[in-house]
Amino acid sequence: MTTHYLILSGLLFAIGAIGVLTRRNAIVVFMCVELMLNACNLAFVTFARQVGNLEGQIIAFFVMVVAAAEVVVGLAIIVTIFRTRRSASVDDVNLLKY
């Protein structure tokens, strides 16, 4: 019965991962990361329901809090980079290398 939820979760995770790997726009990459996190959340909640306790649900809340914090910091960085370099492409931010 929970199989459909898990398949949905896997599909969402895969879409997110492919988005992170293929898209250049930092905002879109960011949204894809959020998609992967939420896919995880769905998996957690599904398993919690299957096992019959609340631990997975609690962890889903933790993930949301962390995601919110991450959005704050991540968006701030993206806006700062856009202001200095006039670009939101992740490929342009490549100064830190060998």
Partner 1 sequence: MESPAEIIQHTAGGAIGLSWLMIVLPLLGALILLVLNRRTDRWGHLLGVAMSLASFVVAVLAFVELLGLGEAERRQAVHLYEFIPGMVDMGLLIDPLSISFALLITGVGSLIHIYSIGYMSHDPDRRRFFAYLNLFVAAMLLLVLSDNYVGLFIGWEGVGLASYLLIGFWQFKPSAAVAAKKAFVVNRVGDLGLLVGMFIVWTSFGTLAFADLGTKVGTASDGTLTAIGLLFLLGACGKSAQLPLQSWLLDAMEGPTPVSALIHAATMVTAGVYLVVRSGGFFFPEGSPQALAVAIVGAATLLAGAIIGCAKDDIKKGLAGSTMSQIGYMMLGAGLGPVGYAFAIGHLITHGFFKANMFLGAGSVMHGMNDEVNMRKYGGLRKHMPITFVTFLVGYLAIIGFPLLSGYFTKDGIIETAVHHQPVLGWLAVLGAGLTGFYMSRMVFMTFFGEKRWDKDAHPHESPAVMTWPLIILSIGSLFLGGYLILSNRLMLWLSPAVGRPEVLPEFHFLSTPGLATLGLVAVGAAFAWMRYGRATVPVVAPRGSFLTTFARRDLYGDAINESLLMRPGQWLTRFAVYFDNRGIDGLVNGLAAGIGGSSGRLRRLQTGFARTYALSILIGAALVTGALLLVGNI
Question: For residues 22 and 61, which CB has a smaller minimum distance to partner 1 in the complex?
Answer: 22
Q: Is 22 exposed, middle or buried (0-12, 13-18, 19+ CB in 10 A)?
A: exposed
Please provide the DSSP assignment of 45-84 as one string: HHHHHHHTSSHHHHHHHHHHHHHHHHHHHHHHHHHHHHHH
List residues near partner 1 by CB under 8 A.
Answer: 17, 20-22, 24, 90-91, 93-98
In the complex, minimum distance from the CB of residue 90 to partner 1, in angstroms, rounded to a whole number:
5
Question: For residues 68 and 98, which CB has a smaller minimum distance to partner 1 in the complex?
Answer: 98
Cβ neighbour number for residue 12 with a 10 Å cutoff: 19
In the complex, minimum distance from the CB of residue 17 to partner 1, in angstroms, rounded to a whole number:
6
Question: For residues 27 and 93, which CB has a smaller minimum distance to partner 1 in the complex?
Answer: 93
In the complex, minimum distance from the CB of residue 1 to partner 1, in angstroms, rounded to a whole number:
22
